[in-house]
């Protein structure tokens, strides 16, 4: 049988549309699988890579982080997967720079430690919203020692426990605020934190409060409410648990100002961000950091938690997907929609 033909959506230079064209069929190395993609998802990081070329190590390139599909090939030393398995996976072109490691292709290399079996009752379209968000959430919550993220900026190191399959999770005696709790990474961080027994206070638009509560938040406050800062402070103080800090999935000057006001009243804590954190006039009792969503700290979660939690419904494919189209030619449209802004959904292209 002849090898299948691979195609990819290539970025040939920064600030240009992707071009669909032929691509070499990837080969699974040690500790890797090759996935025949059925769906890929768009993340804001992808928009930055297209617009500025940030993190691109070679041109042309293929980027993208989230895939769902069937295992086409299993590399040496991989024992968790077999050809034909339904999987979700987090691609790491961000780190390797290799085009075969980008999601926007028909076939993609995925590290086996960043993949999980997708239960049969969950569609590829739904499942593809999960993998990158899982790793980002774990990098926000469970890293124990800070490390460089970019010049002058370290990763956050909250050192929180991993999620447990026990429901309800035993209380960790800690409270975390998640700002932007209805976003892809915000909602997943809410789910993972709640599954670790952490009391989560969410901040999101009023129309998304039900979604955030489905993710496990104990309370949710409207970011448009002029009293949101005081409401969050009151809720954290009433929780009678240790205040850990804030994960900010929005990370703008406006949200930073609110975060710092909350942290000031609650005695300091961690401020974990998705963009470079504020640098001026930061109190000594506030520890800032920017997540870098590729870290081996996530390995046990992919291996031991994701599949059974999806199977039981403890881990939900939220926010729900919006399908932009079918075929790699629709990735450009999806990226443009992401740049325009979406709320409480994740954009997906089916293949």
pLDDT tens for 239-284 read: 999 999 999 999 999 999 999 999 999 999 999 999 999 988 899 9
Q: What pLDDT, on the 0 to 100 scale, is given for residue 105? A: 98
Is the model more confident about 55 or about 129? 129
Q: How far apart are the first and last CA of the chain?
A: 22
Q: HEC states along 114-166?
A: HEEECCCCCCHHHHCCCHHHHHHHHHHHCCCCCCEEECCEECCCCCCCCCCCC
| Residue 81 confidence (pLDDT) above 80 | yes
Task: Evaluate whether 63 touches 93 at the Cβ level (below 8 Å).
Answer: yes
0.75 exceeded by pTM: yes
Alpha carbon distance 26, 37 (integer Å) = 12
Mean pLDDT of 292-317: 97
Task: Evaluate whether 151 touches 102 at the Cβ level (below 8 Å).
Answer: no
Alpha carbon distance 141, 246 (integer Å) = 10
* DSSP code string of 249-292: SS--HHHHHHHHHHHHHTT-EEEEESSPPP-SS--TTEEEEE--
Q: Which residues contact 147 (CB under 8 A, 6 or more apart)?
A: 154, 155, 292
Q: How confident is the model at residue 3 (pLDDT cuts 50, 70, 90)?
A: confident
Alpha carbon distance 47, 200 (integer Å) = 29
Torsion-angle region of 262 (φ positive above 0: left; ψ -120 to 50: alpha; else: beta)? alpha
Q: How confident is the model at residue 171 (pLDDT cuts 50, 70, 90)?
A: very high
| Residue 196 confidence (pLDDT) above 70 | yes
The partner residues of 204 in beta bridges, in order of sequence, read: 222
Alpha carbon distance 202, 199 (integer Å) = 10
Torsion-angle region of 214 (φ positive above 0: left; ψ -120 to 50: alpha; else: beta)? alpha
* DSSP code string of 60-125: SB----EEEEEEEEE-TT--S--TT-EEEEE--HHHH--GGG-SSBSEEEEEGGGEEEPPTTS-HH
Encode pLDDT of 130-156 as tens digits. 999 999 999 999 999 999 988 889 999
Q: What average pLDDT does the structure give for the chain? A: 96
343: its two tokens: 């709320």
Encode pLDDT of 202-228 as tens digits. 999 999 999 999 999 999 999 999 999
């Amino acid at each position: 049988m002849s090898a299948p033909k691979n195609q990819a959506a290539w970025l040939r230079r920064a600030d240009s549309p992707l071009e669909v064209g032929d691509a070499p069929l990837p080969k699974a190395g040690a500790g890797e699988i090759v996935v025949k993609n059925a769906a890929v998802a768009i993340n804001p990081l992808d928009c930055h890579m297209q617009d500025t070329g940030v993190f691109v190590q070679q041109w042309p390139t293929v980027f993208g982080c989230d895939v769902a599909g069937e295992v086409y090939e299993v590399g040496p030393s991989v024992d968790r997967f077999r050809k034909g398995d339904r999987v979700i996976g987090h691609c790491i072109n961000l780190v390797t720079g290799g085009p075969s490691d980008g999601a926007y292709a028909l076939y993609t290399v995925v590290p086996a430690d960043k993949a999980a079996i997708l239960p049969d009752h969950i569609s590829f379209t739904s499942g593809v919203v999960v993998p990158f968000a899982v790793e980002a959430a774990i990098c926000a919550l469970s890293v124990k020692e800070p490390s460089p993220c970019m010049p002058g900026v370290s990763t956050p190191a909250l050192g929180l426990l991993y999620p447990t399959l026990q429901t309800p999770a035993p209380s960790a005696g800690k409270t975390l605020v998640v700002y932007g709790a209805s976003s892809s990474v915000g909602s997943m961080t809410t789910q993972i934190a709640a599954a670790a027994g952490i009391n989560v206070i969410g901040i999101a638009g009023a129309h998304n409060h039900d979604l955030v509560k489905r993710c496990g938040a104990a309370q949710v406050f409207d970011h448009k409410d002029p009293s949101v800062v005081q409401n969050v402070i009151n809720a954290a103080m009433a929780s009678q648990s240790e205040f850990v800090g804030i994960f900010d999935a929005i990370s703008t000057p406006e949200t930073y100002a609110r975060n710092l006001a909350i942290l000031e009243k609650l005695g300091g804590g961690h401020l974990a961000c998705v963009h470079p954190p504020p640098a001026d006039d930061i109190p000594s009792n506030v520890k800032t950091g920017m997540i870098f969503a590729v870290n081996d700290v996530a390995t046990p979660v992919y291996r031991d938690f994701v599949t059974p939690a999806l199977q039981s419904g403890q881990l939900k494919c939220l926010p729900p997907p919006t399908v932009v189209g079918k075929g790699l030619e629709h990735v450009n449209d999806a990226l443009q929609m992401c740049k325009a802004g979406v709320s409480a959904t994740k954009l997906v292209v089916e293949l």
